[in-house]
Amino acid sequence: MTCAQSYRWDEMRWAWPEGYARQTAPKKKVVAIDYGAKRNILRCLASAGCDVTVLPATATKEDILGFAPDGVFLSNGPGDPAATGEYAVPMIRSILDDTELPIFGICLGHQILARALGGKTVKMNHGHHGANHPVKEIETGKVEITSMNHGFAVDGQSLPSGVIETHVSLFDGSNCGIRMTDRPVFSVQHHPEASPGPQDSFYLFERFVAAM
């Protein structure tokens, strides 16, 4: 369920012996759009150095820019990306058209970002669920053990010029990541915050902060 109103998040990932510490010296301001966000994603953003403000799924460009963020995060969530995209895609396109803000998406956020960029999503015959999914980062050849929970996927063959595939599933070759070639806008299908690796994919949060 998405939040009904905005709120701040500063809790970081659990660490021994402190437990869930608070982010007291953030480096960048992030607005996270909540399509059904997992708390550990917000913790990872905070741990990577972000001052996080969470906004409802129906937030507008004006709502987002009112917080003067350094970057925008698109969360995971349930359902068909085409349905969520009816209101999310126009907002994302307006951010892309009117700003140079870095954008990072996970799962549903990945799918609706792809649609906003001109790609397509498809219903999978067999969804991906579980915490043992090998995903390859194409540019480096690195294999990450990831967590997945989705029944739709981005059609990697539908990506327009200027958008490339960055990650693929080693189970079935389906798309697991995209990025724009000329801007810090990227997303992944898997859940780096779930840490089944356990740290295989945390670099994505660090990459987002570096882009800001």
The residues, any chain, with a CB within 8 Å of residue 14's CB and separated by 6 or more, are 20, 43
Q: Of 137, 144, 176, 193, which residue is the catalytic one?
A: 193
Active site residue 191: yes
CA distances from 38 to 78, 107, 159 (A): 11, 11, 27
- Would you call 40 helix, strand, or coil by DSSP? helix
Torsions phi, psi for 47 (to 5 deg): -65, -30
Q: Of 107, 137, 144, 190, which residue is the catalytic one?
A: 107
Active site residue 193: yes
Q: Of 133, 150, 167, 191, which residue is the catalytic one?
A: 191
Give catalytic residues, as residue numbers: 107, 191, 193
